Structure 1
């Protein structure tokens, strides 16, 4: 089996990838990690049994950067070409769901700290644990991650490799009880090599092939278009559409928002759920921080009797715009025709203008986040 660096260079030579110095530097670091992991004696071998204690964990890798920088591609190549049996690649959200299930099981009728036995169980058949898209959206995950990952890395000697859209110090930023999460950031600094792939090129946008972001009128054709966007952006197999992960997003105040489809920083919502229910700016800011791309389906034409829905929609779009979130939608009409009469219709013209700007190539090329957002 050829290693990640040879495979990456072969893809460049074949014209399937464009040469990128940051990507190659990351591939080189991952190749070194492969060598270190493959040098460890195989579990159960004579050499393994001769060791007086388990091999110490090898320093892992934390790759972060904007959308479409090739993080998931490099992770896939790393795992595919890693020549050990005890490896696992899993989406971070799915892993944390499993962790919570194991913790519930460990607590049944038992006293004591459930973290160590859960970590030991996870590590039974795993020497290298690879996560795609590490993101922390709720306090339940944040509260246990420091202790869980210290147990996995320090006690069970598991090597962790992960990708994220955010640098470590921005994980769970402004989250509830974030002070309990800070030791996890310290653990990343101690035990993982942090690599930035945060250049200006968004290779994932190439996959969209110029697909439009606003689809009207409502119907099967519009739905099919945004469905295709989701699968292109997340690399999820369309034939497995029934098993797309969902998520529970912490929107503050002890409230959780169910996200029907949530994968690799792409969230899918319905207009009815986001704007037809009582929600405020805090909810929409949580979405804007958590997702680099939002797909909203079922936007209706709004009459005078829908002034509350129109006002919430305005607040939602403001939050997404200010955080440079890529926005795809199915709607009953073009933005300028969505809300033409009723309270706030004049102010809605600003939202329609923003929606038109959000469809532009220039907006789509912007990196996710509010820190450098352009002023009006």
Structure 2
């Protein structure tokens, strides 16, 4: 199976509605609150930021997921509700309670998420009014507005869907994500929300999400920062008329593969939309002794500020690639490494080749660039995605709050 990511969003699966509204949390004229609702209770799975500083919404969400099925997700942009103490926790709980009342649910059936500026208390009057507006605006066509409403410095909404056909029945996974800055492996300032009409056991759903996250969101970097609010969440309502996924096997494998494909699609969209970015870079490492070594090497290269600066300047400075692999922690012999910029091999067995700087610069001037390092130390491989480091990145983050 080779899953194909199609146009779609969180309302693509059976039984889901969504909405996005302007609640005046951000600048005027911007959608800034989202709501997703399932017709039926959902099995849920989630992964969170590894940052020890975790925002109030994450704490509330973890608590609610531990208590059983959920039906709704409410999200705001413009304010992270992080580092806000007891009042922040109370506000996150109030978001869940207000949403539950508007939808005639229990508070524990609502997942809460926030993104934006850290250290400021939530404008709860606007938040609560926004929730009321969201409840009224819910529709099967609301998925794209919901995706727009979770954006912060993002320039584009990030959505998609994948379909799996099983016994002549279709299972759909839809998603929306946000992320542009503070992006680094081990989750970053990114949110990803998946919906699916698959019927799948919670342990298997959690396993699939963790594997998908490892190969996607944990393999991107924009700027080396990891934030306080990051979360990827999957809701499965079981409404597809397809066999249940209750054990590992071909059906589970197909579901996991589809979730991975959709996650990589969204992760690449985040890297491509990196703050100030002009280029998407895919770093491929092959010939590693283990998958862990390959991932370490690939992540370290796309996280290197020197490498990212060279990409911005279309400078074929392949030594920065080998240097980054050298401090990645991966096990390899520097005297065996081959490096390619696109189709041009620039190094063989760790030493420079005679290549055309002009042709290499043309490759590095493209909007999407593939770089390969062959460690020639085994059979494992990995891919990571990042972007160039530009003047605009500094400008965007120098006045983020103003």
**By the TM > 0.5 criterion, same fold?**
no
Q: Greater share of strand residues, 1 or 2?
A: 2
Greater Rg by CA: 1
Q: Under a length normalisation based on structure 2, what TM-score does the superposition of the two structures give?
A: 0.27
Task: Flag the structure with more relative contact order, 1 or 2, with Cα contacts below 8 A and sequence separation at least 6.
Answer: 2
Higher helix residue share: 1
